[in-house]
A = this chain, B = another copy of it.
Amino acid sequence: MIEITEHKIDVPTLIAAVSHDGAGATDVFIGTTRNKTSEKAVVKLDFEAYEPMAVKELQKIVDRAKEQWPILKYAISHRVGVVEIGEEAVVIAVSTPHRQAAFESCQFIIDELKKTVPIWKKEIFEDGDVWVASHP
B contact residues around A35 at 8 Å (CB):
21-22
- Are A31 and B21 closer than 8 Å at their CB atoms? no
| Those of A7-62 within 8 Å (CB) of chain B | 11-12, 15, 19-36
- Are A25 and B30 closer than 8 Å at their CB atoms? yes
- Are B85 and A34 closer than 8 Å at their CB atoms? no
Is the C-beta of A107 less than 8 angstroms from some C-beta in chain B?
yes
B contact residues around A86 at 8 Å (CB):
19-21, 23
Interface of A is mostly: mixed
CA distance A20 to B85 in the complex (A): 9
Q: Which of A63-71, A74-82, A97-105 contacts B (4 or more CB under 8 A)?
A: A97-105
Is the C-beta of A124 less than 8 angstroms from some C-beta in chain B?
no
CA distance A51 to B24 in the complex (A): 23
User: Taking A21-B86, A99-B110, A103-B103 as contacts, is the C-beta distance between A27 and B29 under 8 angstroms?
Assistant: yes
What is the interface of chain A, defined by CB distance below 8 A to chain B?
11-12, 15, 19-36, 85-86, 95, 97, 99, 102-103, 106-107, 110
